[in-house]
Amino acid sequence: MWRAETSRGHEASKVRWFAIPYLRGRGIDVGCGNDKVLPSAIGVDPVVGIDGRKIADVQADGRRLDLFADASLDYVFSSHFLEHVEEWRGALAEWWRVLRPGGHLILYLPHAHHYPRRGTPGASLDHKHDFVPEDVLEAMKQVMAASGGDVLEDEERCEGNEYSFFQVYRKGSGGPVSVTPWRRHPRSCLVIRFGGYGDALMASSILPHLKREGWWVAFHTEDTGAEALRHDPHVDEFVVAPPATLALEQLGIYWRALATRYDRVINLCEAIEGVLLKVPNQAEYYWPDEVRRRLCAFNYCELLHAIAQVPYGFEQRFHPSPEERQWVLEMAGRERTVAWALSGSAHHKVWPWVGPALVQLLERHPDCRVFLLGGPQDREKGETLLECLRACQGRLSGRVTSLVDRCTMRQAMALAQLAHVVVGPETALLNAVALESNRKVGMARRK
């Protein structure tokens, strides 16, 4: 609620942490003043500072964004600015124009029921309008009519030193307008795990336990984690953080703010990297070997279950979509298949003797077919392997198919799940089949 003695502006800071999941890519902060929502945002403001210098990156009237082409931005953020604009509906249409399909318009505006109305004591003399959420929502439905889109947030925020409402709209590429704003669920649990595909898959082991306990589960991760768990039936909501949006020292503040939306928070970040894995830039790396083994020799999943306070029944699993399973059947058929990952996400996750091992495998098992899997970084390696097989062991090369950089990560994990044998270094592909009944061969380089 607004109070004359305590309400001193700094509005963007009150909603910054809840806007973070929508602030991905290239975007602008319209009416930013001297407090942009993110340092990487392009600040747009017509105001000049006391010393005569502009206070924003772009000194421009936020009602018109002529510097920006149609569909050129990933987000437009604006806090406590629209109420100063006479033709506010036109400003909304202009902000919508510069958004790409999938981009977000994020608004934080004073609520007429909680902030002094025009002409009353304490009201801003420059306000042109008194808004309630329905005013902007109805106007945005008209703006969105041509492109379609989704209403993702529509929340009154009037506790503590807030007297505003928060709305987020996602631009579509045609189709209907969907109004399904976020709402707090009873008995809700937020699981936080940043990292790669494998990190999310390991964390998935706790999710069935939480669902059986009656929790509504939100999973907070990065793009890779959301992709890995996209069809996991135990996740009710994904909260996806853009990579490298926040500095490390800000994460604690961000997580504390986000936690206010949920009844329970399970934070698994650094659970393995910070607790069990010791590297040369840590003092613990130089502890006696006996001490390190006593303190760190634990099963990864066991530690995650302990933090989540759920039973030690491990249920880590990759869930392919029906389309992904069908793709595997069309690709591999019913042959005896070997899925071979050439490398992992880190530079040390590689095994240099793939070629000789591949030849021996094919010679000893003439009924098997091998699929080479990897990302763009493995393209040259995969091509070299096939060329060597054709030159030296031509009869074997026909039983090797390279899907390196030719399938998605999810397709590769679906193939691994249905393969008879999965080979590779410690990587997401092995994590995807950790508890499957097929055979796994983990390759590691010894010092």
Task: Give the count of beta carbons closer than 10 Å to the beta carbon of residue 83.
Answer: 19
Provide CATH code, domain 12-179. Answer: 3.40.50.150
Distance (Å, whole) CA 301 – CA 210: 15
The reported pLDDT for the residue numbered 389 is 84
DSSP state letter for 242: P
Q: Where exactly are the structural domains of the chain?
A: 12-179, 188-308, 322-442
The reported pLDDT for the residue numbered 6 is 65
Residue 412 near residue 373 (C-beta atoms within 8 A): yes
Integer Rg of the chain from CA:
27
Sheet containing strand 368-373, edge to edge, reads 400-402, 368-373, 336-341, 421-424, 439-442
Cα-based torsion angle of the residue sequence 36, 39, 40, 43 in order, rounded to the nearest 10 degrees:
30
Residue 349 near residue 252 (C-beta atoms within 8 A): no
Residue 272 near residue 431 (C-beta atoms within 8 A): no
Distance (Å, whole) CA 375 – CA 200: 19
Query: Is it true that 188-308 and 322-442 share their CATH fold?
Result: yes
pLDDT beneath 50, residues of the chain: none
Q: Which residue has the tokens 């109805």?
A: 138
Which phi and psi angles does 127 have, rounded to 5°? Answer: -70, 135
Distance (Å, whole) CA 372 – CA 419: 12
Domain 322-442 homologous superfamily, CATH: Glycogen Phosphorylase B; (3.40.50.2000)
Is the pTM for the entire model greater than 0.85? yes
Distance (Å, whole) CA 434 – CA 314: 10
* pLDDT tens digits, one per residue of 11-26: 999 999 999 999 999 9
Select the CATH number that applies to the domain covering 188-308 from these four: 1.10.1740, 3.40.50, 1.10.405, 1.10.287. Answer: 3.40.50
